[in-house]
Structure 1
C-alpha cells in the first residue's frame, strides 16, 4: 500500500513536471513567434500606427497605400493567423492564452477589413498623413533636430501616398468624401507656417532646411491635389450619383460587431436590451421630473405626457451653462476637482507623473467629436496625454447656444469624467503599464468606452453631486449611450432615415438640435463604434455587480477597479475570466 501511494505520488510529480515543461515550451514558442520581433514586423508594415503607440523605429517611413502594399500586408496577416492557430493553446497559461485570443481577433479583423470589407476603397477619409506628422513634431521622444530630419524623410513620400490614395478610391461614400475634404484642410495646417517657424528656429544646417522646405512645398501640393480630387469627386457624386451608401448592411455589421465588441452579446440582443433600458430610464426620469417640477415651475401645471414633462424640465435646467468664451476654462477647472474626489473616495490609483494636458482640438482631428483624448502608447508612455476640446468659433451663435445647452452645468461634468478622470485618461495610463504589450497596444473599443461610461456611474455612486438635478441629467446622458446603440443598429442594419433618427435623438433622448444632427453625422461616418459604449458599460457593470452580490460587504471597489484596469485595453470577455472574487475581496 505504501509503495502504491509512493508510486502514485511519483507519477503525479512527473505529470506536474511534464505539464510545467509543456507550458514552458508553449510559452517559449509564443514569445518567440509573437513577442517583440513579431510586433516589430507588424509596425514596419504600419509605421503611422507605430508612431501612435510610441514606437519610432520606422518613423521615417510612410506606408504608400498601393496594391503592392495591400498584398504584402495581407500575406503577413495570413501567415500570422496560421501560426497563431497552430499554437498548442492547452500548454499556455491564462495570460498567454488571452494574449493569443486578443491578437488573433485583431489580425482576423484586419484581414477581413482588407480583403472583404475593403474600406480602403470607399472611404477617402482613411487617407490622411497629418496625425503621425503632428506627433513627431510635438512629442519630445528625441532632440528636435533629429525629429525634423525624420519628418523631412517622411515628406518625400507624401506625393506617392496621395497618388496611391486617389488610385485606390472607387465608388466612395459621399459623406466620407466630405469628411476627407474637411480633415485634409487640417493637414495643410500641420504643414503650414507654424512648421516653417519651427524649422527656421531649429538646429538644422542651412542645406537641410532648404531641402526640408522643398519637400514641404511638394507635400502641400500633394495634399492640395487630393483636396481638389475630392472636391471634383463630391461634385460628380452630387450630380450623377454612383457612390456607395454609407450604411454597411446587416451582414457586414454583424461581422464587424463580432470582431469589435467581444462582450458575449449579439447585435440583436444588445439592441433589445437598449430598448428595455430606454424605457427604464424614461420611467425614472419621469419620477425625477415630478419631484423637481414645483421647484422650477411653481406656478405652472406639468404637461400630462411623460416625455413632454421630462423635456420641459431638462430645457429649464439647460439654461445653466457656460459661455462660449468660458467653456474651455470650465473644462480645465473640473479636472483637479475630479482628481480630488477619486483620491478622497479611493476609487482608483492616479499617477501624478502622467499629467493630463488640455488643448484645443487640432484642425485635422475635427469633424467627428467635440471632445476626445489622445494618449501615448506603451512604447513612449511618458509622453503627454491630451484632452482635446474643440472650440466653438466655427459655430453660429445659435449653434453655440444649442451646444452649450447640451453640455450644460451638469452634463459638462459627466463629459469630463468620461474623457478624463477617471475615464479615458486614467484607463489609458493603466493600459500603458500592463505587462502584456499585446493587451496594451491592441485596444478594444467597448472596453475603453465602456470603462469611461462605467466611471460616470461610479463617480455618482460615490457621492459626486448627489442632487436630483444631476441624477436627471445623468439619466439623460445614459439615455444618449443607450440611443447610440439604437441609432447605430437602426441606421446600418434597419435602414433608419434621418427624420426617424432625429426624432429618436431629440424627442426620446432629449438632445439639442446641434447634438442630434452631430450624432446623425457621426452615424453616417462610423459603424459599430457607437454601439461600443452601451455594450462595454453593460458588460463591465454586470460583472462588477455579480462580484458584489457574491461578496457583499467584503467587496472592495478599488481592488476591482485596479485589477480590471491592470489588463490593459483587452476585451471585457477576455478580462472577466481572469478576475475572481478573491481578487477583489477585503
Structure 2
C-alpha cells in the first residue's frame, strides 16, 4: 500500500504573517519588554530592558536573521496591504539596527538607563490592568533588575555627549522622588504584607542605586562627557528612509522646511496686524503669551476644550469619532517633564482591561522663579491651549488611538511611522481652524479671541518648523546647541524656556522634523485626492479612510487611497 502525502505550501502572505509574528514574539518585545506591557502583552511585565553588550549583540544577530527572512518573501507576491506591512517590518528592523550599531544610545545617553527604570515602573502603576498585588509582584521583579541595569551604564558610557549627561543629571532627581513618593502611593491598595515588605526593600535598593548614579554622573561622567551628539547626514538620511520612507535629499528637505517657516511667519504677521495694527508681530506675540491660565488652572483649561471640539467635529462632519469616552487630563509623570510640555498616553492595542487614555500636561517646576514661571506659561496661551487640545485629543492623537484598535493587521497595531502619527495630529491643528473652528460662536467668544486662536496655531506651527530645520542643521554640523536655542526663539517664536527644552530634545531626537514633514505629506495627499475625486471628495471620508489604514508611512497610505506611488511631497 502506498500513501500520497500532500505537500503543504504556505502562501507568501501566510509566510509573511508567520515570520512577522515570530519577529514580534522573539525579538521586538523580548528586547523591549516595557513596550510589551504597554501593548497589553502582560507576559513581559516582570522583564526589564538589558543594555549589556551581550544583549545588544544578541539583538543585532536576531535582527539580521529576521531581515533576511522577511526580505526573502517577494513584495510583488503580496497584496497591497500586506506589501505595506512587509515594508514597515523591514523598515523597523533596519532602523533598530541603525540605532544599535551606529547611533548607539546605550553607549552615549545616560538618561536611557534611569529613564528606562522609571518608565518600566510607571507602566505597571499607570493602568490597573490587574489587581494591585499582582502588579506589585511584577514591579518587584523589575526593581530587582534595576540596580544591575544602572550599573551597566558605568561600563557602556565611556565618552558621551555632554548635553546627554546634563539632561540625565536634570532628570534623575525627579526620578528619585518618583520612586520615593509616587511609586509607593500607587500601590497603597496592595494587601499582601510579605509583598509590601519585599517591595520596601527592592524600592529602597533602586533609590540607593539612583542616588549613587546621580553622584557618579556629576563627579565622574560629566567631566569626561566630550562626545558628539550629532548623528551626521548619512545616518540622518538612512533613519528618515527606514522610519518614514522619505528619501528626499537633505538640502531639498531644508528648502521645504524654510519655505513653510516663512509662509507661517508671513501669516502670523498678517493676523497680528489685523489684531493690533500699531504693534510689531513680536509685540503681539508677547501679548498673546501673556493671555494664559494660572498654572493651577491649566489642567481644567484643557479639559474644558473637549466639549466644543467634539460638537464642532460632529456638526461639521470632520471625522467619525469611534467612542464617547474622553481622555483624562493629568500632570506629566516626573521622568518625562524635562523634554515634553504635553503628550497623549493611550493604552496599547492589546490592552483589554485598563483602557483609560491620559492627556499629560507639564506644569511649571516648583523651583522656578516667578519670572521663569511666567515665561514658561507663555507657551500655554489661549491660542496654544486650543491648538494643543486639538493635537493631543480631538481630532488628534486620542482619535488616532481609537482607530488603532481597529487597525487592519497586527503589524499596523504595533508599528507606526511618526510622520503619520505626529503629522496627523499637527495637520489637525490647522485643518480645524481652516474649516471654521475658533470662529465667534464656534469655540471663540469674539473675533479678537478667534485671531488669538489662529496666532496660537501658527506659533505651534512655527515651533514645528523650527524643529524641522534645527534637527537637520544640528545633526549635520551646521548649527550648535546654542544657535538652536536662538533659532527657536527668533524664528520659531518661542519663549527662552521652551527654546531650551526644544534644543535639548533635538540633540537626542534628530528626526523630529516629522511633525511638519507628515503634515505637508497629508496636505498633499488630500489635495491629490480632491483633484482625482472632484465634487465627490468628502473630508470626513478622507479622514476616516486615512485613520483606518493604521499609521504606516504616508507613502503606503497614498498607495492605498490613490492607487499609485506618486511622490508624497
- Secondary structure of the residue aligned to 2:358 is strand
> Using a 3 Å threshold, how does the CA distance of structure 1 residues 236 and 410 change in structure 2: closer, same or farther?
same
- Contact 2:125 2:186 survives alignment (8 Å): no
Q: Does 1:415 align with 2:403?
A: no
- Secondary structure of the residue aligned to 1:376 is coil
Matching residue of 2:227 = 244
- Contact 1:278 1:479 survives alignment (8 Å): yes
> Using a 3 Å threshold, how does the CA distance of structure 1 residues 546 and 390 change in structure 2: closer, same or farther?
same
Matching residue of 1:316 = 287
Which has the larger displacement, 123-132 or 463-472? 463-472
Q: Does 1:68 align with 2:81?
A: no
- Secondary structure of the residue aligned to 2:478 is coil
With normalisation by structure 2, the TM-score equals 0.90
* 1:448-487 correspondence to structure 2 within 5 Å: 448-466=421-439, 467-487=450-470
Offset, 1:90: 2.1
Structure 1 residues 98-124: Cα deviation after superposition (integer angstroms, max 9, x where no partner) = 111000000111112112222210111
Aligned Cα root-mean-square deviation (Å): 2.3
> Using a 3 Å threshold, how does the CA distance of structure 1 residues 356 and 198 change in structure 2: closer, same or farther?
closer
- Secondary structure of the residue aligned to 1:358 is strand
* 1:141-540 correspondence to structure 2 within 5 Å: 141-197=129-185, 199=187, 201-204=189-192, 206-237=193-224, 243-294=226-277, 297=278, 309-352=280-323, 354-380=325-351, 383-392=355-364, 393-466=366-439, 467-498=450-481, 500-529=483-512, 531-540=513-522
Offset, 1:267: 2.6
Offset, 1:189: 3.2
Offset, 1:460: 0.7
Q: Does 1:126 align with 2:97?
A: no
Offset, 1:475: 2.7
Offset, 1:26: 0.8
Structure number with greater Rg is 1
Matching residue of 1:305 = none
Find the aligned partners of 1:203 and 1:285 in 2 and give their Cα distance. 57
Find the aligned partners of 1:346 and 1:264 in 2 and give their Cα distance. 35
Aligned residues: 542
Find the aligned partners of 2:418 and 2:291 in 1 and give their Cα distance. 33
Offset, 1:470: 3.2
> Using a 3 Å threshold, how does the CA distance of structure 1 residues 25 and 167 change in structure 2: closer, same or farther?
same
- Secondary structure of the residue aligned to 1:387 is strand
Find the aligned partners of 2:170 and 2:425 in 1 and give their Cα distance. 28
> Using a 3 Å threshold, how does the CA distance of structure 1 residues 377 and 284 change in structure 2: closer, same or farther?
same
Offset, 1:387: 0.8
Offset, 1:480: 2.2
Matching residue of 2:524 = 542
Find the aligned partners of 2:330 and 2:413 in 1 and give their Cα distance. 25
Find the aligned partners of 2:17 and 2:240 in 1 and give their Cα distance. 29
- Contact 1:539 1:572 survives alignment (8 Å): yes
Offset, 1:311: 1.6
> Using a 3 Å threshold, how does the CA distance of structure 1 residues 450 and 394 change in structure 2: closer, same or farther?
farther
Unpaired segments ≥5 residues, structure 1 = 1-20, 303-308
Unpaired segments ≥5 residues, structure 2 = 1-7, 440-449, 565-569
Which has the larger displacement, 430-439 or 510-519? 510-519
> Using a 3 Å threshold, how does the CA distance of structure 1 residues 472 and 222 change in structure 2: closer, same or farther?
closer
Find the aligned partners of 2:358 and 2:209 in 1 and give their Cα distance. 29
> Using a 3 Å threshold, how does the CA distance of structure 1 residues 26 and 277 change in structure 2: closer, same or farther?
same
Matching residue of 2:446 = none
- Secondary structure of the residue aligned to 1:191 is helix
- Secondary structure of the residue aligned to 2:296 is coil
* 1:35-54 correspondence to structure 2 within 5 Å: 35=21, 37-42=22-27, 43-54=29-40
Structure 1 residues 8-63: Cα deviation after superposition (integer angstroms, max 9, x where no partner) = xxxxxxxxxxxxx99x711121122222x432213123212211222111211113
Find the aligned partners of 2:205 and 2:285 in 1 and give their Cα distance. 52
Offset, 1:396: 1.9
- Contact 1:59 1:150 survives alignment (8 Å): yes
- Contact 1:374 1:388 survives alignment (8 Å): yes
With normalisation by structure 1, the TM-score equals 0.87
Structure 1 residues 356-397: Cα deviation after superposition (integer angstroms, max 9, x where no partner) = 011111111110011111121111165221111111134321
- Contact 2:34 2:123 survives alignment (8 Å): no
Q: Does 1:554 align with 2:536?
A: yes
- Secondary structure of the residue aligned to 1:192 is helix
- Secondary structure of the residue aligned to 2:350 is helix
Structure 1 residues 263-310: Cα deviation after superposition (integer angstroms, max 9, x where no partner) = 45333222101212223233333333333334xx4xxxx5xxxxxx22
